Chains A and B, each alone.
Chain A
Amino acid sequence: MSDIHPEMQERWILRTELLWAFGVGVFIAAALGMILFTALKMSINPPSNVERIDPKTLHLSGEFAEHNLGTTVGSDGSVTVRAIATQFMFVPRCLAVPAKRLVTLRFASPDVIHGLLITGTNVNTMVVPGFVAQVHTEFTSSGDLLMPCHEYCGLGHSEMWATVQVLPDDQFKPGPDGRIACAQR
């Protein structure tokens, strides 16, 4: 660049860098704007719940005792699903949920760190011993969805999965105790 004055070259580099920084700034602002818009207007947020539970005793009594696992419809119509993620299965192995209604999913682990996602949805969380993992969601269409463990939890990890049975409104009929299990097919 013998014919370009060093000062001109510096200026050209500075101009390019400023242009690049401006482009990056615009993208960051747009990405943050999209995140804020989806969070505030569409209720799409990372699941966040800090709620402690004793992993040594959670199966003995209280919310995650065996008789309380599965889907419960409250007197106010709210749907809550409780399940335990343990080596190497989810209890229960099938979760019945209604389509197009707000559902609260609650998970706990008595042993090691697990994780789960529900295919085709944005449900995706870790299940850490000592904490209750809680996710609110709405299933948009009915059908059977796969819910695998997605955090390596031991030798049987690949066998650890459950089914989420999303039922249309006319088939989602809880019993008098407000509980509902998966339909046998």
Chain B
Amino acid sequence: MHSDQPSAADSPLEVADDVDEAALAGAMRLVPLGAAVLAGTMVALLVAGYLLIYILVFIPRGTVG
């Protein structure tokens, strides 16, 4: 490395944060729950959209077969 090239450690953005093991464990406990809540909410919205179209549009259009 040339001496005029700065080290990555010169930039605060490039330096790893201090990791508090206890805080990390806490976050890792919460993240899967958040993923489950996010996925559940999205699927619930999708199902609600399907049900709304089925009940408010498809059914009132009447008999076919």
- Tell me, yes or no, whether A binds B: yes
A interface residue numbers (CB < 8 A to B): 1-4, 12-13, 16, 20, 23, 27, 31, 34, 38, 42-48, 102, 120-124, 135-140
Pick from A3, A12, A137: contact of B64, CB below 8 A. Answer: A137
The answer to whether A120 touches B61 (Cβ under 8 A) is yes
Question: Chain B interface secondary structure, helix, strand, loop or mixed?
Answer: helix
In angstroms, Cα B43 to Cα A4, docked, is 29
Q: How large is the interface on B (under 10, 10 to 19, 20 to 34, 35 or more residues)?
A: 10 to 19
Complex: chain A residue closest to B62, CB-CB: A140
The answer to whether A121 touches B61 (Cβ under 8 A) is yes
Q: What are 5 A-B pairs with beta-carbon distances under 8 A? A: A1-B28, A1-B29, A44-B64, A121-B61, A140-B62
The answer to whether B61 touches A122 (Cβ under 8 A) is yes
The answer to whether A4 touches B64 (Cβ under 8 A) is no
Q: Which 7 A-B pairs have the closest CB atoms?
A: A45-B65, A122-B64, A43-B63, A122-B61, A137-B64, A1-B28, A138-B63
